[in-house]
Every structure is written in C-alpha cells, then in structure tokens.
Structure 1
C-alpha cells in the first residue's frame, strides 16, 4: 500500500485480532481444608467441655445428695431417755450402741441402694421408716441404727424382718426390747439389768438367741410354745405353751424377763 492512497480517500481498516485470555482457575466453593479442621476442632472441644461440666453437675447433685439422704441423725438435745421403733419391714436390721457424743442416733442405709430412711420424733419416740428413692441400684432392704450409749433406750420392732441383730451391751441402761413383727432370726445382746428389763416377742420367730451378762438373773416364758428352749446350756424340747424356765435368782431386783407370747422354733439364752 502506498501512502498516497489516503489522499484519494481510500480507507483501509486495520483489524487487530485479539487472542482470548486464559481464565484463572476457579477455586472450589466453601472454606479451605485448614479452616474446616480448625472449626471442627473448636466444635469438638466445646462438646467435650459441655459433657465434662454436665457430668460434674450430675455427680454433684446425684452422688453427694443421694449419699447424704442415706444417713439420718439428730442431736441429743438434753434427752436422757428415748424409744426406737422400726416401722418398716426390712430384710436385715442391725442396731448397736456407741459413743456418739452429742448425736442421739444415726440411721443408715447402703449408699449405692435405692432405700432411704426417714425419721419421726414424737415425744421421744423415734420412728424409723424406709422408702424407695428411685435412685441407685435395687437393694435388699438393709438398715443400720446406732444409738447413743449414754441414753436409756427402749427398742421396739413394730415391723418384721428376715434377720434382726441388736447388740446393746454398750448401753448404760435399757428399758427393754419388744418384737411385734415376725422375724426369721433374732440375735439380741443386752447390757447389765438395772431394775426389771422386759423382752417381749409377740410376732413369732424362727430362732431367738439372747446373750446376757454373766450372773444376770433371767426368766424365760414360752407363752406360745417352742420347739426347744435352752437356758445356760440346759435344753428343753417340745415346750408347751406357758412353760417357764429360769437361770439365777429370779426374785432379784435387777433381772431379765423374757416372754415369748408367740410360737418360736428355738430359744437360746447364754452368757458373754
């Protein structure tokens, strides 16, 4: 092309052919992998913290509280005499006397069981009842009672049990013991008698063992009859209702009077 062609008015358009630009590679939608891991770790940590706090709160509420509810006690508050009365049937009950200081009594059930005790105190009569708390493992209905040894206690078992053990030898004095509910096996240990100490069994029993101090006079009446009665090693079989047996001077001022108004398979009186 000659430059003078422009003078003639001829126009030649210069066409520029543009090459298409390469597009930048597109990133996949969503956060980067490192961000995902970081967020996931934070969420997991939060879950673990919440779980730990929840577990701690549960233990604080259910472990400490439930354990506390398995023990009931009260202050002596100047009392020198009281009566214990078990009002709920149990599989096994154990009553002992100990130096409890200013505490009048302490009633316990197993910490891991469902049974919990409650106590009513009416004019010196301590009524013990048991109930199902709904928490803990099923248990066999076991209760332990400790009595302040410096208080004169009368003990009464209105409800029955499979096993009944009362070791009261540490008491300064007892006003007597009464079994109203039926019991499969009774084991009773008494302190020295001060005055006449009555022991009465009216609910029926399988075996009734009574341990007395040496030389403590005793009279045993089988009001309801007995398979056998043994007093200080002397055994009597096929005992009819109303038969009486004695050991020592039963006219003494300080003595034990044991009256089995209901039938019993075996009565054994010995010494410790």
Structure 2
C-alpha cells in the first residue's frame, strides 16, 4: 500500500546478473567472452554433453519428465531448486544454502538470471544451463535447475491458505479478497466510510524472499512491513485490498486479509529508484494480519 516501503533484493552471494547481449562490450570484455565460450565448448566436449544453444548464447539440456506439464507464465510464482557452479565444480550458490528450502520468485517481471532457463522449462523439468556471458568473477557458470511448480496468483493463494491456515474459516469476496476474522468482538464499533481507522498490521508476501543479515548470512523471510497506521476508510488512501479487508472488521477485532495484485500494486509493483529494487514486486499477492484498535 502507499505508505509501505521495504527492501526487495535477490542475493546470489558472488554471482552478478547482467545483460546477455554480446553487443556494446569493450575489447577486454569481448576477449574474455571468447575465452569463456571456448571453455564452455571444451566442457561440453569433455563431458560428452548433448546440448542446444539458445539465441541469447547460453547452452542447455532439459530433461522433460512431462512434456504436457504447465509452462510458466509471466507473473507466476515459480518454485525451484538450483545449484550454480563454476566449470571446475566449485559451488557458487545454491537454493539450499543455510536453509533447506526451495527458492521462489515471481517469473518474468524483473531482471533475474533464472528468467532465461525457466522460460524453456515446464513443471517437473530438470535441466543444466551453461552461461559463457553471465559469470562469477569472470568465469562461465553451470546452473542445475529443478522446476518444482509454477502457480498463478489465484492458485497460489488457495494453496497458501490450505497449507498455512488449514483450520481457519476464510471467506472470498467478489473482488478476489480472502479474509478471516480470527478474534471477534460482536459489540465493537463497525467501520464506516468517512471514519478514521487506526490499526496494527503485519504485511507479508506469499513466499519467502532471500535476504542477508548483518553478517552477510542468507535467510528467508516473507514479512515486508509491520506497524500502526491510521487512514480514512473509503478515501482510497491505501490499496483496495487492504481497505476492503479492514472494512470487514470491527474495533477490537483481529483478522487476516489475502488479496491478489489486482487489489494491490498490480503488474507494475512499487519500485524504489534510490536502491534500484522493488518495494513490492509486480504481480505480488499480499497478506495482512490486522488488529483494529480505534475508529473516530
């Protein structure tokens, strides 16, 4: 919502993303690219790999376990396992570093290394991808990927509720909002348009984001904001999904609102020019835990 700001970043330890284009590179970079290309071709020959070359320049081999499985679409929440290695076998990064959980991100909506291989895969596929152009410390890399799932927003919301709130009674409004009243107060004051509402909140994504702590250690967290906010109900001072969820409560009640990006930041997200990162990523479904404390 309009007052919520947080830092959204993808950390690959030492791997840096960059354009795959071979155009407009300086002579030193062009020479290094030739060396990397030769190293990748040698690796392919030495390991008797059968690969194809993408138009962008990287090489790949995909083990398609189910050719009729779903292909990811822009805006899907993709979940996968990956290992990034140098051609020597040295591990650069992995989805399983520090915490043994898969990696998830919203496909195709911001600059991400994985957009290139995931664009060629279906759910259940496993593949290897060799990048001469996109390197760690100048070296070509090999990326092993297992694509676990690719879910649109509605499917992902349903799965999230079923997994995280299996016994909570959620309702669905005509707009797509899911909401549940977790602490009732039948005698509480109803919230009407034009009234100023004060509430405590915690905001979360429906997937864990990779972050680093002050010791540069990776961890995963879905929470992007928390605090207290006051706004005028019905005045469009916050995003529609948040406002609608709050309107379902009375003073003294607690609840959960989960809504798709169409009720939040839509397909554009919220981008922080200063940090060069998304505040809220495009196509992001949002969850808010809320407690209404006052209305006047």
Question: Normalising TM by the smaller chain, what interval?
Answer: under 0.3
Higher strand share: 1
Q: Which has the higher contact order (CA 8 A, sep 6+)?
A: 2
Answer with 1 or 2: which has the greater Rg: 1
